[in-house]
Amino acid sequence: MLSETYLLHKALEETGIVPPQEHPRVKSPGRSAGPCIRVCLGSEGQVTDIVSVTEQEWPGLWTVRDGNKNSFPVIRIKNPVVSVPRGDALWEQLGFEDSGKRKKQDKSSDQSRRDAMAQALTSCSGVEVGEWQNLCDKAAELRECFQSNDEEGDALREFASRFTQAAKVPGVLLEAIANRALESLKQARIEDLDAIELLVVGKGPPDAQGRQPDMTVQLAFDLAEETLYTREIKDRVKRILPAERDAPTAKHPARHCSFTGEATELQTAAFPKVMLPVLNKEFPLVSMFSDAACNTRYGLTDAFVVPVAKEAALRMQDALALIVDRTRRGRTWRGVASGRFEVSGGRKRETSDLLIVYVDGKPDIEAQLADLFGSDPEGTEKQFEADAKTVCDALNGIEHVNPGSRLNLFLLRKASEGQAHVAVAESPSVTEVLDAAQRWQEGANNIPEITVPLPPESKGGHAVQGRSRSPYPDQVVRLLTEQWVTSGTDSRKVQGISLGQVLDVMLHKPGCWEEAASHILELSAYRLGPLLVGLFGALHASAPRLYDDYPPRSREIALRAVSVLGILLHAFNRRKEDYMTGTAFLVGRLLSLADTLHREYCEVVRDKSIPPQLFGNSLMPVAADNPQDAVDRLRERMNTYKAWANKADGEKKDTLPETLKAIRIAKWAVAQMGEVCRQLAEQLPLPTQTDSAFRAELFLGYMARSPKAESGGIEAATDDDESEEGGDQ
CA distance 116 to 101: 17
Residue 723 has pLDDT above 50, yes or no: no
pLDDT of residue 725: 38
On the question of pLDDT at 639 being above 60, the answer is yes
Is 507 among the domain residues? no
pLDDT of residue 610 exceeding 80: yes
Mean pLDDT of 27-43: 87
Asked which of 240, 270, 292 is the last residue of a domain, the reply is 240
Q: How many Å apart are CA 519 and CA 526, to the nearest integer?
A: 11
Same domain as 199, residue 268:
no
Q: How confident is the model over 390-429, as pLDDT tens digits?
A: 999 999 999 999 999 999 999 999 988 888 999 999 999 9
* Separation of first and last alpha carbons in the chain: 49
Give the lowest-confidence range in 95-109, 350-364, 371-385, 455-469. 95-109
Q: Which of 148-162, 620-634, 700-714 has the highest mean pLDDT?
A: 620-634
Residue 344 is predicted with a pLDDT of 73
The mean pLDDT value for 60-65 works out to: 89
Do 18 and 33 lie in a common domain?
Answer: no
Q: Are residues 81 and 48 in the same domain?
A: yes
> How wide is the angle at C-alpha 367 spanned by C-alphas 366 and 368, nearest 5°?
120
Query: Is residue 515 domain-resident?
Result: no
Q: pLDDT (tens digit, 9 = 90+) per residue, 106-132? A: 655 788 888 889 998 888 887 777 778
Q: Is residue 253 part of a domain?
A: no
Same domain, 663 and 604: yes
- 573 and 660 in a single domain? The answer is yes
Within this chain, do residues 635 and 697 fall inside the same structural domain, yes or no?
yes
- Tell me what pLDDT residue 714 has: 46
What pLDDT, on a 0 to 100 scale, did the predictor assign at position 651? 64
Task: State the Cα–Cα distance between residues 105 and 98, nearest whole angstrom.
Answer: 15
d(CA 622, CA 590): 14
The pLDDT value recorded for residue 389 is 94
- 439 pLDDT higher than 90: yes
Element containing residue 607 per DSSP (H, E): none
Q: What's the number of domains the chain is made of?
A: 3
Can you give the residue range of the structural domain that contains 367? 1-24+259-390+407-427
Taking the CA atoms of residue 219, residue 222, residue 227 and residue 233 in that order, the dihedral angle to the nearest 10 degrees is -90
Is the pLDDT at 68 greater than 70? The verdict is: no
Does 432 have pLDDT greater than 50? yes
Please check whether residue 245 lies inside any domain of the structure.
Answer: no
Rounded to the nearest 10°, the torsion over CA 186, 191, 193, 194 is -170
Q: Which residues pair with 225 in a beta bridge?
A: none
Average pLDDT score over residue span 248-275 = 83
Which run of H or of E encompasses 646? helix 627-647
What is the pLDDT, as a whole number, of residue 719? Answer: 46
Asked if the structure places residue 234 within a domain, the reply is: yes
Under a CB-based contact definition with an 8 Å cutoff, are residues 525 and 696 in contact?
A: yes
CA angle centred on 539, ends 541 and 655, rounded to 5° = 40
* 477 assigned to some structural domain: no
Residue count of the chain:
729
My answer on whether 423 and 550 are in the same domain is no
| Within-domain flag for 440 | no
Q: What is the pLDDT of residue 348?
A: 83
Residues 413 and 463 in one domain: no
- The predicted pLDDT at position 729 comes to 32
pLDDT band (50, 70, 90) for residue 290: low
Same domain, 294 and 350: yes
β-pairing verdict for 63-66 and 26-27: antiparallel
Question: Distance between CA 340 and CA 349 in Å, rounded?
Answer: 9
Contact 615, 572 (CB under 8 A): no
| Residues 20, 30 within the same domain | no
Beta strand ranges found along 290-388 (DSSP E) = 333-344, 347-359
The mean of the pLDDT values for the chain is 87
34 and 20 within one domain: no
Provide the H-helix boundaries in 167-208: 170-186, 193-201
* 16 and 75 fall within a common domain: no
Residue 516 within any structural domain of the chain: no
CA pseudo-torsion sign 15, 16, 20, 24: positive
Q: What's the pLDDT at 727?
A: 37
Candidate from 387-401, 660-674, 710-724 with smallest mean pLDDT = 710-724
Q: Is the pLDDT of residue 669 over 60?
A: yes
Of the candidates 500, 470, 448, which has an alpha carbon nearest to the alpha carbon of residue 567? 470
Mean pLDDT of 484-508: 94
**Cα of 268 vs its chain's centroid, Å:** 36
